[in-house]
Structure 1
Amino acid sequence: MLAWCCHLQSLRFDMPKIFDFTRFSLRDLIATAGPTVLVIAVLCALAYVLADPQPPAVVRISTGQENGAYEGFAKKYAAELARYHIKVEMTPSLGSLQNLQRLMDPVSQIDIGFVQSGSTEQEDAERNGLISLGSLFTEPVWLFYRDTHDISELNQLKGLHINVGPAGTGVPQLFKKLLSVNGVAPDELQLGALENTPATVALLAGTIDGMVFSSAPDELLIQMLLQTPGIKLFDFTQAEAYTRRFPFLSHVVLPRGIVDLGRDLPARDYQLIAPTATLVAREGIHPALVDLFVQSATRIHGRAGWFQRQGEFPTASYTEVPVAPAAAKYYKTGPSFLQHYFPFWLSNFMERMWVVVVAVGALFIPLSRIVPPLYVWKVRSRVYRWYGQLRSVEQAIEDVPNNKRKEVYALQLGHLNGIEEKVNQISIPLSFAEELYGLRSHINFVRNRIIGLQGVIDIENGPATD
């Protein structure tokens, strides 16, 4: 029993040496593959910085007048992007034209804004580095006037006081174009510049004859005016002709009863002309933001409405601003394959970094063939380098003068014993044990040779004599 315990005790002390001998040589693997892995890691980090897959945490959007349709939709976009931890900072404006001016101003911090079609030309948009993320909805031109006037054509507005809103809305520019094709000069009527809310108060008070603005029907102001006694909506009976003269306009119909079916409001169909509201951004906007805004636009504007069918908006049509390629692709084919099956942050990362993934894959194939031989060479070099020492011992005992042989042989045996002691301390994976044991046998072979040469000396010298 005592002998068994002693045996276990000796095994306990020998186990660390066994583990050293059998464990995988991580040190050698790091030494061989480390530089290559480091180069790949640096390249990946550089590619990540250049590709910049993650969108910025803050985006600034220029909206419109207080309580207007643009402001309402901007709040919906803010709620959508908040799901992805992106803050939308909203900056009020007078309207479309001011939004466009902010986007074209390099000093402005605005990233994106609502712009009405017809506000600019394609050449100007390209020159100023603007891109469209798609048309969102139609913005009919609403001309409300007091029923004390009988107006069926725009040239009957001569001499009246019509409010067209501030210059920043874009409506004054559009309305002047409409007047010009009707042969009416701007100085033949009085054009007001009030914002919508005070203009509505003035219209109801009778201090102005009419007001014109362009907005989506979601705006409460429109629904209120459509139901207000004494206020009439102008019917653009020549709507189709206007759309032929101005390609950025479309012909829409306000259906009978759309406001209130029970009260039959309006009591008949109204022909209207409508530019479209477009989401316009700077050309340098982050690609991930383009995807997020386009997807959000589909959820916000994709439903059926007063002037649109289900899925008709958003669209890449009805805009003179060049459409971003990513947005055009989305409207044509829908979400990408990865976006169907992965969260946005992951799909976006993989789509932006696919070049890096392919490059790493291309590097991995040759590396998978180079690293294993390098690893083998590195491990075996710990054994093979001692063969140089062993060869120096053999060379030292060659052609030694007779009078120095005994001294040299003894010296080289000591050198050989030192080599063997260091070799016995080598830690090497078990799969390379054959090389280690081969080295030890060769050390023993050289030792035996030296001992044999010492025996020859003793025989040559013979027994000592008195």
Structure 2
Amino acid sequence: MKRPKLGKFSLVSLRDLLVASLPTILLVLAACVVAYIVVDPAPPRRVVLATGQENSAYEEFGRKYAALLAREGIKVELQRSLGSEDNLQRLIDGRADIAFVQSGSTSEAQAERRNLMSLGSLFTEPVWLFLRERGKGRKSDIHSLTQLKGLRINLGPEGTGVPRLFRQVLAVNGVEPGQLTVSSLENTPATVELLAGRIDGVVFSSAPEAPLIQMLLQTPGIRLFDFRQAEAYTRRLPFLTHVVLPRGIVDLGRDIPAQDFHLIAPTATLVARDDLHPALVDLFVKSATEIHGGAGWFQQQGQFPSPKYTEIPVSREAAKYYRDGPPFLQRYLSFWLANLFDRLWVVVVALAALVIPLSKIVPPLYVWRIRSRVYRWYGQLRAVEQTLEKEVEMSAPPERLDEVRTELLRRLDDIETRVNHISIPLSYADALYGLRSHINFVRQRVRAGIKAG
């Protein structure tokens, strides 16, 4: 005789436990997915960065940001623009997510009303006033902005922010823009006009890395204006700083420039809409540190990027990055993996909110499922008793009672056979043995042919 395997018996039925827990598990998983996607959504894989004009420093730096973020799986769409004021409008209209903006282009109150935030200042943008020499072999003798009266000066398109900035500079010198012949060409065509002699000067506000700045600094017949009163300008216009272009910084061998030049400079800031994903804020600040953190013509190592030098409120995430460095996980993991773990706290909250109360439902469901295997057979036993009871009450003839008893005994044998194949944990075996004894009890009643009651 084949002996039964004791391994099929256990204190707990894992299958029943899983089935009883399944609704709870599905509900918890659904809540976690909703919390993960809706409450704390993943950062977008595409972001629009408004840069500047063709051949501008903004455009050059925009390409560097795009290259760095591409390594992390973020596509940066570069959007060429006129400059700072145009970029501000693009942010306000929702056409760009983040942009380069020059300090002094707006105020703190206006930035808050327009839902803008700063990710920090990136570099100084000196005001470059390039003038054409007045005659062959003669250098420009212009040493004061009051001497620009009557000259043809290009300030650039209104959207660049340079016209607004330079008008403020002219105003503190007592010069009205109407006293100059002002044009509003973009940087590249304005440079062409200057080199062709059709205008007397161009005004840029840009980092020295801009290709046009590099070219004009080395072009014979073009001279950079020296803001000898630079320190006074910073007192009158607080968003400006005084920087010095050192002698020979462009080309030491050729001694270009041949003297120190004093310049006035606002700062370039990275401005974003306040709904930019916090993870992208960290990523942009990290990229800014890599791009702008070194020493330059007008800055010391580590001076930029910085939460200073900006009138736009710095975002909370950016301020924390400047204060504490990159988030802990981003120091050791890739951007997306670090972001995944960083967002898991939402899932933990969802689990805590659901698992504890739902865990009180699973045990009763499990007990009900196990005991229902036994209890459902009591309905069959009751049906057998009621059939016998009906025949007895109707005073059926003996032949009919014998026929009914035979049929009911067959049904009880079938029930007992099926009950013997019930798989039930050992901790609930008492209910199974109780059922078997009750089957035998009903069988005795049927054999006796007495009224069930």
Paired residues in the alignment total 441
Q: CA separation in 2, counterparts of 1:369 and 1:347?
A: 34
- What is residue 3 of structure 1 aligned with on the other side? none
Q: How far is the alpha carbon of 1:333 from its aligned partner?
A: 1.2
Secondary structure at the aligned position of 2:170 is classed as: helix
Preserved contact between residue 53 and residue 288 of structure 1 (Cα < 8 Å): no
- What is residue 459 of structure 1 aligned with on the other side? none
Q: Which amino acid aligns with 2:128?
A: W
Out of 108, 117, 122, which is 1:122 matched to? Answer: 108
Matches within 5 A, 1:70-219: 70-106=58-94, 109-147=95-133, 148-219=139-210
Preserved contact between residue 102 and residue 267 of structure 2 (Cα < 8 Å): yes
Q: How far is the alpha carbon of 1:320 from its aligned partner?
A: 1.9
Q: CA separation in 1, counterparts of 2:298 and 2:434?
A: 89
Out of 424, 432, 438, which is 1:436 matched to? Answer: 432
Preserved contact between residue 20 and residue 428 of structure 1 (Cα < 8 Å): no
Q: CA separation in 2, counterparts of 1:28 and 1:242?
A: 81
Deviations 1:299-322 (A, max 9, x none): 211222111122221122222222
Q: CA separation in 2, counterparts of 1:308 and 1:116?
A: 17
Q: How far is the alpha carbon of 1:393 from its aligned partner?
A: 7.1
Secondary structure at the aligned position of 2:166 is classed as: helix
Q: Does 1:314 align with 2:300?
A: no
Q: Does 1:426 align with 2:422?
A: yes
Q: CA separation in 2, counterparts of 1:62 and 1:439?
A: 78
Q: Which amino acid aligns with 1:132?
A: S
- What is residue 39 of structure 1 aligned with on the other side? 27
- Deviating more after overlay: 113-122 vs 50-59: 50-59
- What is residue 39 of structure 2 aligned with on the other side? 51
Matches within 5 A, 1:2-41: 25=13, 27-41=15-29
Q: TM-score, normalised by structure 1?
A: 0.83
Q: CA separation in 1, counterparts of 2:191 and 2:323?
A: 41
Q: How far is the alpha carbon of 1:133 from its aligned partner?
A: 2.0
Q: Which amino acid aligns with 2:286?
A: Q
Change (3 A) 1:394 1:341: farther
Q: How far is the alpha carbon of 1:449 from its aligned partner?
A: 7.3
Instruction: Percent identity, please.
Output: 65
Q: How far is the alpha carbon of 1:390 from its aligned partner?
A: 5.4
Preserved contact between residue 383 and residue 436 of structure 1 (Cα < 8 Å): yes
Q: Which amino acid aligns with 2:335?
A: F
Q: How far is the alpha carbon of 1:171 from its aligned partner?
A: 0.6
- Deviating more after overlay: 57-66 vs 415-424: 415-424
Q: How far is the alpha carbon of 1:448 from its aligned partner?
A: 5.7
Deviations 1:384-430 (A, max 9, x none): 444566578789999x89x8898797776555434323312323345
- What is residue 52 of structure 2 aligned with on the other side? 64
Secondary structure at the aligned position of 1:299 is classed as: helix
Q: How far is the alpha carbon of 1:34 from its aligned partner?
A: 2.3
Q: CA separation in 2, counterparts of 1:24 and 1:75?
A: 63
Q: Which amino acid aligns with 2:224?
A: L
Preserved contact between residue 248 and residue 318 of structure 1 (Cα < 8 Å): yes
Q: CA separation in 2, counterparts of 1:97 and 1:90?
A: 17
- What is residue 464 of structure 1 aligned with on the other side? none
Q: How far is the alpha carbon of 1:368 from its aligned partner?
A: 4.2
Preserved contact between residue 130 and residue 225 of structure 2 (Cα < 8 Å): yes
Change (3 A) 1:392 1:197: closer
**Uncovered stretches (5+) of structure 2, i.e. residues with no partner:** 134-138
**Uncovered stretches (5+) of structure 1, i.e. residues with no partner:** 1-6, 457-466
- What is residue 136 of structure 2 aligned with on the other side? none
Preserved contact between residue 50 and residue 81 of structure 2 (Cα < 8 Å): yes
Preserved contact between residue 53 and residue 353 of structure 1 (Cα < 8 Å): no
Preserved contact between residue 53 and residue 349 of structure 1 (Cα < 8 Å): no
- Deviating more after overlay: 229-238 vs 438-447: 438-447
Q: CA separation in 1, counterparts of 2:426 and 2:178?
A: 99
Q: Does 1:243 align with 2:234?
A: yes
Q: Which amino acid aligns with 2:294?
A: R
Preserved contact between residue 193 and residue 199 of structure 2 (Cα < 8 Å): yes
Q: CA separation in 2, counterparts of 1:115 and 1:138?
A: 12
Out of 269, 275, 286, which is 2:277 matched to? Answer: 286
- Deviating more after overlay: 435-444 vs 300-309: 435-444
Q: Does 1:298 align with 2:289?
A: yes
Q: How far is the alpha carbon of 1:344 from its aligned partner?
A: 1.4
Deviations 1:208-240 (A, max 9, x none): 222211011111222222222332222222222
Q: Which amino acid aligns with 2:121?
A: S
Q: Which amino acid aligns with 2:367?
A: V
Q: CA separation in 1, counterparts of 2:296 and 2:79?
A: 27
Q: How far is the alpha carbon of 1:356 from its aligned partner?
A: 2.8
